[in-house]
Each structure stands twice: as structure tokens, then as C-alpha cells.
Amino acid sequence: MRELSLHLLDLLENACEAGATEIRVHLEENTGQDTLELVVVDNGPGLPQGANEQAFDPFFTSRRTRHVGLGLPLVKQLVEQVGGSISLESEPGRTEVRLRVPRSHWDLPPLGDIPASLLAVLLREGAPRLIYDHVVDGRRFHFDTADLGAQLAGLPPAHASAAVRLREYLRAGIASLYTSRSSTADESK
Amino acid sequence: MPRISSVEELKALREQARRELQVRLGTGTRITVGLGTCGIAAGARETMQAILEELERRGIEATVNTVGCIGMCYNEPLVDIEQAGMPRITYGRITADKVPRLIEEHLIKGQVVAEWVVGRMAQEANNGPKS
């Protein structure tokens, strides 16, 4: 996939398909240490016992409708390609995928459109609560769907105009992390 | 189509078309985009974005939902459109560049874009209970 944000979307979709009602995403970039760390934690039922290693096998899936599951194998392939590390811990009620890669590696795709990936999850019917934290060199953007009311003026996120408004809010918040000023969406509240 | 023989008939036809358009757009249009791994890799997220942009640009009231893989990976990106009074239509290989025509023809003109259809569900089935 040509963006990290597409891998993130894939991980989020996995969590949704597994039945998670709450997903926490922590994305931290540190330019000084040249690291990018992504952690996705959900409260779904977890993988079957002993299946953590199998989860990286493209011909393993916990779903019954088909016999392949490419999301995690693709992330693992990318991480290994750039000399990073990836781990998966799963138990009933908590599954965590954690990856750490060198931020400026030549073969690392760009972060891409994170707001679009977050929005795609929020447009699911019965979307889970999504808590997103993005940190760049100590500057932080925090987003929680539990606090959405003000951004959407009472409309559901799946309403087209509300979705566009939400995407713009996310874009502005994340963009603020990369400006030279240390203003964050949190501080502006 | 009946032959139009007067300005009054033309006005009446236009009014009827306007009412039909209002009914279609005002009674719960729902667009669903498949976003499994297959859909994501095929560009479905960009399709979703293009749909939102087009709806916003045209001021169309609609709900946009995303779902996981439905098993027709070879036809991704898949877009499903449900509207009152019309069969539920599933379109295949709807990349972002096809979205303006899809919205124009299906939502505005009420015409199914036959060459992109990969599935069709009758209205009665569409109104039934959902699993």
C-alpha cells in the first residue's frame, strides 16, 4: 500500500470486523530519534488462543467467510522492509498491534491521509468509539469521538456534509502538529 | 416517452421530474463503500472521499457508510446505492474518477449506470429486514 494511513485503516477495519466497540490509536513521531511508532489497541474479543503468530500468515484469518487475511501480513512485510519491529498481543477484551519504524527510511511510504482513514472508520454503521492521539516532537493532537457533538452540529458522522466537516477538523488538527508554532488542537480548546 | 405538444405539457413534465428528484434525494439515500483490505488496496478510500466531495458540491442530502469486505474483491472498489423507490444497486470498480458520473446519473437523473452494475436487489427485498 502506498501510504501508512492505508495500513492504519486496515488495522482499524480489522478491529471493527472483530467487534470492537472502542479503538485507541497512538501515533508518535520523533524527528530527533528518527522514529515513528504506531499503536492500535481495541477491546474486541481477541484472537483465538495461540493464534498470535498465525495472524501474520496471509492464509490465516479468524473470519469464517473466507480463508485469507492480508492486513497484518502486509504491515509486517513493510515493517521488515524498513528494519522496524512489530508486535501483536491479544487476549479476550484487548488486542494491541504495535509497530516502530525509522521515520526517514527511504522505503517507508508517507504517512498519507490520516484524516480520511479515521473518517472511513467513523462512517461505519455502529462505528466504535475512536480515540486518536498523534504526537509530533512533543506536540499533541487528541481526538475522541465521544466529544464529537460540537464539530458536527448534531448531525451523524455518516451524513455527507457532517463527514466533510469532520474531515476538515481532523486535517486542521493534524496539520497543526507540523507547523513551527507549538500550537495544538488541545491548546486551542 | 410521450410526445410533448405544448409549453404547458413541458412545464408539467419538468415539475413532475423535479418532484421525483426531491423524493429520491429527500427520502434516505444511502451510499455504502466497501473498505476491506481489497477495497483499500483498490482505492476505495479515495472513492469514499470523492463521493463525499461530490455530494457536498451538489448539496445532496445523503448518508455515506463504509463496510468491510463482502467477498467480491475482484470488483473493488464496490459502491452500493439505496434509494427509496429504486432497486438497490451495487456498482463495481468505482474508482474516484468515476464518481461524478455515478452521482450525476444515478442520484440526479435517476438512471442506473448499467455498464458498471455488478449486483441488483429488488426493491421488495431491499425493504426487508436487515441482518
Tell me the pLDDT band of A161, cut-offs 50, 70 and 90. confident
The Cα A8–Cα A41 span in angstroms is: 12
Residue B72 touches partner A, C-beta closer than 8 Å: no
Task: Identify which of B17, B30, B29, B64 has the alpha carbon closest to the alpha carbon of residue B44.
Answer: B64
| Residues of A with Cβ-Cβ distance to B37 under 8 angstroms | 10, 13, 69-71, 74
Question: Is B52 at the interface with chain A, CB within 8 A?
Answer: yes
Q: Which of A70, A159, A161 sits opposite B37 (nearest CB)?
A: A70
Is the minimum CB–CB distance between B49 and chain A shorter than 8 Å? yes
Domain residues for the domain of A47 are 4-188
**Shortest distance, CA A158 to any CA of chain B (angstroms):** 5
Domain tally, chain A: 1
Of B10, B15, B23, whose CA–CA distance to B107 is shortest? B23
Predicted complex ipTM = 0.80
B28-126: CATH class: alpha beta
Shortest distance between the Cα of A35 and any Cα of chain B, in A, equals 25
Cβ neighbours of A163 in B, within 8 Å: 52, 64
What does the pLDDT read at residue A32? 94
pLDDT > 70? residue B124: no
- pLDDT recorded at residue A186: 47
Note whether A123 contacts B65, CB cutoff 8 Å.
Answer: yes
Nearest chain B Cα distance for residue A1, angstroms: 6
The β-bridge partners of A133 are A26, A142
Interface of A with B (CB under 8 A): 1, 6, 9-10, 13, 16-17, 65-66, 69-71, 74, 113, 116-117, 119-121, 123-125, 156, 158-161, 163-164, 167
pLDDT at A151: 64
pLDDT tens for A114-136 read 999 999 999 988 889 999 999 99
Decide if pLDDT at B115 tops 50.
yes
Query: Mutate which of A5, A12, A13 to test chain B, going by most B C-beta atoms within 10 A?
Result: A13
Distance of alpha carbon B111 from alpha carbon B83, whole angstroms: 12
**Gap from A65 CA to chain B (nearest CA, Å):** 8
Collapse the DSSP code of A78 into the 3-class scheme (helix H, G, I; strand E, B; otherwise coil) and give the result: helix
Q: For residue B36, which residues of chain A lie inside 8 Å, CB to CB? A: 13
Sequence letter at residue A73: P
- How far is residue A55's CA from residue A53's CA, in Å, rounded to a whole number? 5
Question: pLDDT tier at A150 (50, 70, 90 boundaries)?
Answer: low
More confident residue, B109 or B25: B109
Give the three-class secondary structure for A47: coil
Single-letter amino acid code for the residue at A154: G
The answer to whether residue B20 scores a pLDDT higher than 70 is: no
* Strand B30-34 to B63-67 pairing: parallel
Facing residue for B40 by CB, picked from A6, A16, A167: A6
A160/B62 touch (CB, cutoff 8 Å), yes or no: yes
Residue B55 confidence class, pLDDT cut points 50, 70, 90: very high
Q: If you average pLDDT over residues A82-111, what whole number do you get?
A: 93
Residue B9: the pLDDT is 81
